A = this chain, B = another copy of it.
């Protein structure tokens, strides 16, 4: 990962600030000949779109993605296809309310990147968080839509929210179909009902809460990844960690593996037809940095939204004490909106490793 790009053969570069004229990305290295339309990518963006329930920010943006390059419809063929050249995607920022930014211009919001950016660069686009805004993740979702095409239909990637604040799901109730039927990407219908009450309380009090999400890729063949520094789990961890507000990542049994014994942790194997069956998946689908053919399973923690209505202590740009509270639209639990983003990041990492594996091994 360098600056604002990630991936090696399937490489994504994003650009844009929250309140600039547009945000966008360039997807470089995509295989040629894949059928793709703007509507295909819009499908994924619509799942991320704010303003869809009372539990996410009411900032309204249509987030209409446009394809500016890298896709071509030959007049003798059956629809637009990728050409193998860079795919430029752009979303115009349409909801740039003219407002007074003087408070966040002059004071550092605790938990936000304001202070760190100023210390690094000496200048900061303070409007809506600028480059550090989660708005950037829209482009990850768009790029992830391309990555899914590069992966093909045999790979399925889904993300679920498994904990909001202190409230965990009951894993016995897990049903992926539920994720699309509640506003929380929650696979447990009972938990979703409880979360609704819980989050209403959080929202009304002007507070916020964190979340834990689980993202799973099924259909990944064995052999993707690499030893040592380009391990598949290393790059999955980096990809998830790079999402705004993420503070922890784990693969398979993750932190719980500290309490397991060697006997229970090591996933045993048995012959199954002409193939091999693992009797458990504590490794999360990755051994030695390389996929095993089991589902790739990762979890990550998202901290509470830093923008809250309660006043917090901070300092001004000039180093004076002050207090600040964040007015306006915000998510009570920004973690909910990370689900489509995590899917997209996992898709991009897997697409990159698919191509890298094919490059080295054929």
Which listed residue, B123, B274, B289, B291, touches A33 by the CB 8 Å rule? B123
Which listed residue, B17, B132, B230, touches A3 by the CB 8 Å rule? B230
- Bound complex: CA A293 to CA B28 (Å): 25
Tell me the smallest distance from the CB of A361 to a CB of chain B, in Å. 6
Q: Provided the pairs A69-B15, A230-B1 are in contact, do residues A120 and B225 lie with their beta carbons within 8 angstroms?
A: yes
Number of A residues, CB within 8 Å of B: 156
A271 within 8 A of B: yes
A131 within 8 A of B: yes
Interface-centre pick from A251, A266, A301 (highest chain B CB count, 10 A): A266
> CB-nearest residue of chain B relative to A280?
B110
- Bound complex: CA A26 to CA B260 (Å): 36
Q: Please determine whether A315 and B120 come into contact, CB atoms closer than 8 angstroms.
A: no
Tell me the smallest distance from the CB of A47 to a CB of chain B, in Å. 21
Q: Provided the pairs A2-B229, A258-B210, A287-B115 are in contact, do residues A310 and B241 lie with their beta carbons within 8 angstroms?
A: no
A sample of 29 cross-chain residue pairs with beta-carbon separation below 8 angstroms, ordered by A number, consists of: A2-B11, A5-B28, A9-B9, A15-B26, A15-B86, A15-B87, A20-B69, A24-B69, A32-B121, A33-B123, A72-B123, A75-B105, A85-B125, A110-B266, A119-B223, A119-B290, A120-B357, A131-B227, A165-B258, A209-B260, A210-B257, A210-B259, A229-B242, A231-B242, A248-B248, A248-B254, A255-B255, A275-B319, A359-B359
